[in-house]
Amino acid sequence: MKALVTGGAGFIGSNLVDRLVSLNHEVVVVDNLLTGSRENLNPKAKFYESDITNFSEMEKIFECEKPKYVFHLAAGYLVQSLDNPQRDASTNVIGTINLALLCLKSKVDKIIYSNSGGASYGEPQSLPLTEEHPINPLTPYGISKHTAEHYLYMYQKNHGLNYTSLRYANIYGPRQNPKLEGGVISIFIDSLLKAKSPSIFGDGKQTRDYCYVDDVVDANLLAMEKGNCTAYHVATGVEISVLDLFSKVSKIMGLSIPPIYKPSRVGDCRRAVFDITKIKNELGWEPKTSLEEGILKTLNWQKSK
């Protein structure tokens, strides 16, 4: 089986590529290396340094490679979207439209889309969040990521495009870049390893749902054959505050360095935790990695780097 992975040099994408390669699948990676890294590339995967917003380049890749499955992980990121919503919309919306059109033209079996649960819903009206919760994003990133899901739905209804949308909680693990804003666990570990006080935005009592990257890869693989034309949360269903998370990371590392408090960031909701009943029942997926185990694995990887 041949799979094309957009964003395959990035954090989640490269972990997915490694698993696909280990399962003896033929893998093609497309990444513009804006946030991805050559160090993450699997040598057994074919690599194209290209941008999903370039339709003509992507068309040539699809014509040459003829993938059976497309895993779409290439995306902008939240802080960049606040500063440059135009580029964010181009990447997340135009890029996804290009892929949808090429999947239809190339008769791809399925596109598995990595969406953001955390950024899509905005301030929750009820918890835990279900897939039916109203969508009221508070950031350009959340808007663009969810808009792309509507395009997939439209192309499915009108033209038969097969897809699954996976709406991620806060994902963490090896290869997450602490220099980007999204990975608070990797940021905490990086700061503490350097004996520096990490920043906490707001009072630290805001809550999130943290899911380990290997479990996310499992969900992507299950979505190849199950869960057609619908969306699922990929999360743990466990809510923890940023302060409690920092305490947990500090305890595992055996360090006691106080954080620095900074003003709350634009677009940050107060609480987020996800209902994972649907993905359990329909895909047979559930997280296997405890938060403590995942933090330790992430710590060991960051130490090795």
Q: Does 254 have pLDDT greater than 90?
A: yes
pLDDT at 76 over 90: no
Written as one letter, the residue type at 173 is G
* Spatial distance between the Cα atoms of 297 and 272, rounded to a whole number of angstroms: 24
Name the band, by pLDDT with cuts 50, 70 and 90, for residue 118: confident
CA angle 38, 8, 72 (to 5 degrees): 155
DSSP H stretches of helix in the chain: 11-22, 55-65, 78-83, 85-89, 95-105, 117-120, 140-159, 184-193, 213-223, 242-253, 277-283, 291-304
Segment 34-75, tens digit of pLDDT: 999 999 999 999 999 999 999 999 999 999 999 999 999 999
- Least trusted range by pLDDT, from 9-23, 79-93, 283-297: 79-93
SS3 per-residue string spanning 166-206: EEECEEECCCCCCCCCCCHHHHHHHHHHCCCCCEEECCCCC
Q: Which residue has 């999947």 as its token pair?
A: 103
Which tens digits make up the pLDDT trace of 188-222? 999 999 999 999 999 999 999 999 999 999 999 99
Full set of structural domains in the chain with CATH = 2-170+212-234 (3.40.50.720), 173-208+238-274+288-304 (3.90.25.10)
Query: Which pLDDT score is estimated for 235?
Result: 98
Say whether pLDDT at 179 is over 90.
no
- Residue 265 pLDDT more than 90? no
The whole-number pLDDT of residue 181 equals: 59
For the cut 70, the answer to whether the pLDDT of residue 103 exceeds it is yes
Tell me the per-residue pLDDT of 121-132, one tens digit each, with 9 for 90 and over.
999 999 999 999
**Cα–Cα distance between 207 and 166 in angstroms, integer?**
21
Percentage with pLDDT > 70 across the chain: 99
Average pLDDT over residues 111-124: 95
Residue 249's Cα: distance from chain center in Å? 22
Model's pTM, two decimal places? 0.97
pLDDT at position 288: 98
The letter for the amino acid at 25 is H
Q: Which residue has the higher pLDDT, 181 or 16?
A: 16
Is pLDDT at 80 greater than 80 in this prediction? no
DSSP letter assigned to residue 265: P
- Give the mean model confidence (pLDDT) for residues 133-142: 94
Q: What is the pLDDT of residue 79?
A: 64
Q: Is 141 a catalytic residue?
A: yes
- Does position 275 have pLDDT exceeding 70, yes or no? yes
Report phi then psi at 261, rounded to 5. -95, 135
Catalytic residue among 77, 141, 155, 210: 141
Instruction: Identify the pLDDT of residue 182.
Output: 67
Mean pLDDT to the nearest integer, 281-298: 98
Q: How confident is the model at residue 305 (pLDDT cuts 50, 70, 90)?
A: confident
pLDDT at res. 82: 76
| Token pair 């290396």: residue | 33
Query: What is the structure's pLDDT at 210?
Result: 98
What's the farthest any 2 CA atoms get from each other in the chain?
57
Give the pLDDT of residue 99.
Answer: 98
